Structure 1
């Protein structure tokens, strides 16, 4: 557990502690009152930043998606098309492995059902960037006869599924011990060619 809060950025301290709580105990154990107690502040102090638990969950999701988008934006250095699409997929999996707790939180339907318009816009923009790269890759000769929606669904399933396998407790022992990062890239390459 974190040390009690001592005059700083209470909003960030609340987010950090909430992420820990969600990772360790799940959304049902998250409350603003408990966060205040953990951080040693008054029960009213969190309300200055988050009026409700839903507001807190949305803020966590925005922080997580923003971090993921920033990680995948670095793939823009790769040549446009299939190379960039591959780099984006690898960046997604790398981000999930480096931020396993946050990745797990973003997959929690109780967290995502509190999505604000801002969060929905971020997710839409992220999906649109992937769809643009699929279109560019197809125009360059990659899987030109496949429907773009099918490729998008496959891409999302492949990257999210790979991230789940690489970060999920249920897979960690049987899979993680034998699945090195280069094998993740090789798996993704079965799709990218």
Structure 2
């Protein structure tokens, strides 16, 4: 567990509150490694938005915390660490609330897999995008949601925004193998 939290200094550390919670829950090392990889990509995407769209307001800290805890429900559904499933989403939301995490931060555990659901926000879309981009997966409708929000909020042409986002996602994808190797180097069970 400690190795997953501290190894690979090229990945940003998780927010302290998220790391402490993962320790308390005795989260599997593979889950911690995954959360670090997604959190790191969320940081890159947040930095890119702040640099290229400074006029677009968003809660960067919420995005980073959301990325750092989005799959925390897999503590209660460990089979979903190596097999598909969505039971971890409502379980993660409830788990975070039980541990005193405010609802506006706990929501990401439930929204990261359902970005088209009514009421999802730009922050939800960024966490969902990070959860795909960390492994170089591209999801057209999700990228379109992010593009539309940025283009509308910045009064820019959607095609121009998409081309720039596409370049950033390609840059992030270029280091996906290292993130995948980092995650795979940690056992599923503690």
Q: Structure 1 length as normaliser, TM-score?
A: 0.30
Q: For CA contacts below 8 A with separation 6 or more, give which structure has more relative contact order.
A: 2
Q: Structure 2 length as normaliser, TM-score?
A: 0.31
